[in-house]
Chain A
Amino acid sequence: MARAIAEPVGLRRPSLPHLPVLLRGSGIRVLSLVGGVVLWEVCGSLLALPWLPPFSKVLVALRQLIENGEILGNLMVSLRTLAVGFTLSLVVGLGIGALMGRYRRVEQAIGIYVNALLFTPHLVFAPIFFAMFHLSDWTRIAVIIKYVVFILIINTATAIRTIDPSLVEMARSMGASERQIFFRILLPASLLVVFAGIRLGMGRAVKGMINGEMFIAFVGLGGVVQKYGSQFDASKVLAVSLVILIVALVLGTVVNAMDRRMTRWAD
């Protein structure tokens, strides 16, 4: 029958990108990054390709964008949709996932659809969402939800399902109610794996945010990319891309930090 295809990343400690890893690491990693920037600068200057401006030019473009307010304003717009979309996905994803993991009937009823929707390319539904919500925020929020919620559901379901059943039996034998079992046993025991899913979800949320905005094309950081893209202004495009990368890395770091704090007992 429908099997969970996206297995949880497991109990591996956060290895997805976050700033400390990039900046720390052994010296060779830092050297490699610095070397990359130098190479970028050299190639950009020498080759004079329209799509590869030197790093310095990109920095200049970045400063221009910050000064004229385009970055900050659109960043706020983007982050707001991200926050709404991600929060909704969390609530729905963890909730439905928990139900799916706990109650076999729920899994039988919706498992196949969750898996199917997880497999499908996410942006292909953007035209459908656009038809439903037109130019309102909800189109982009819906895209983000499509990117995020299904991995959260599957991950949470697997997390709950793989909890040691003897823990639940023990609680039952001590007279715990269904509610107590849920909040005192199932939730904490699954936290480690659930957070792995949240880490994955955050990465997808950022991609959903940007892809949705580029599809709509007039709003958020994605809109800025489209604007300067259509003007063939590679420096500005790269500048915004840098900002997007930093956003992705910062958010990844935040999730990792929360993960470490809430699952400290696992170390």
Chain B
Amino acid sequence: MAVQAYRKKRRQELLWSWGLPLAVFAVGAGLWELTTINSESLIIPTFTETMVGLYELLFVSPKLWAPLLLSNQAMVLGYLLSVVVGVGSGLAMARVRWLEGVADPYVHILLAMPTAPLIPLVMMALGLGVESRVFIVFQFTFIYITVNTRAGVRGVDKTLIEMAKSFGASEGQTWWRILIPGALPAIAAGLRIGLGRAVNGMVVAELLLVAAGIGNLLLEFRAAFQGGLMFATVFAIALEAIVLLTLMRWMEDRIAPWASGAAQD
């Protein structure tokens, strides 16, 4: 009897947890459709137009994938560079006292300062090619990896380090056996946050510096007044970010299931 009641409750819960978001989606889509179906705007599409456009971009037309790949090249390169520099600098800052002091004000500045105003300077220095987009992605990303890595290493229980020392561990052994495993959750979180930042940087570079891949696609659709396709491109980019970050989150849980979750973003 109790088991049946429990199963029924579980089914009900499942119904709620799927039904509610679907209902919200339906209401949202309906409102969108109703407000736009008679609109005089040349560029704002209806919900159905956008969905058709999205389907077309994802599964039918080859228009999306080449530009997406092009844009993501900059993103991946910038991200990898950021990981190397970010983890390296984070580890160094956490361990070397004077380095921490010297670099700390710049960490604060880099965290506070929007990157966008520097884009004209990047253009002057690196031109309009992939290098400048890579640099912008890098600039968006690396400091967050640094900060999370530093916090991770700093957060390792000091008594563990002392214990290692008292057992005669060398600096290298302390790093390999204690600090890095201990900092792994925070580093993984930093890598995830960094990926989000990298995608952001990719988009900003496309919109503010030079529209190369998908930024260009967006502008093309806009110029041709193809609202459905333009909105669909935006959603495709959003989807990419969601997929990447969900994957990253999944990986983060695999790497460090004991994460406590106080990441700096």
A residues bordering B, Cβ < 8 Å?
1, 3, 5-10, 12, 16-17, 21-22, 25-26, 28-30, 32-33, 35-36, 49-52, 105, 108-113, 116-117, 119-128, 131-132, 200, 203, 206-207, 210-211, 214-215, 221-222, 225-226, 228-230, 232, 234, 237-238, 240-241, 244-245, 248-249, 252
Contacts and interface: CB of A to CB of B under 8 A. Distances in A.
Contact of B262 (A9, A207, A229): A9
A35 B101 CA distance: 13
B207 interface: yes
9 contacts: A7-B261, A28-B101, A51-B125, A117-B238, A124-B207, A124-B238, A229-B119, A230-B120, A248-B114
Interface residues of B, number: 59
Given A109-B24, A131-B41, A229 B234 contact: no
Contact of B199 (A21, A32, A35, A121): A121
Contacts of A112: 21
Given A21-B108, A22-B105, A119-B245, A237 B121 contact: yes
Contacts of A124: 203, 207, 234, 237-238
B187 to A, nearest CB: 16
Main secondary structure of the interface of A (DSSP, over half): helix
Contacts, number: 178
Contact of A211 (B43, B114, B227): B114
* A105, A123, A127, A240: residue with the most chain B Cβ atoms closer than 10 Å: A127
Given A36-B106, A124-B234, A131-B41, A109 B21 contact: yes
A32 B124 contact: no
A125 B262 CA distance: 28
A234 B120 CA distance: 8
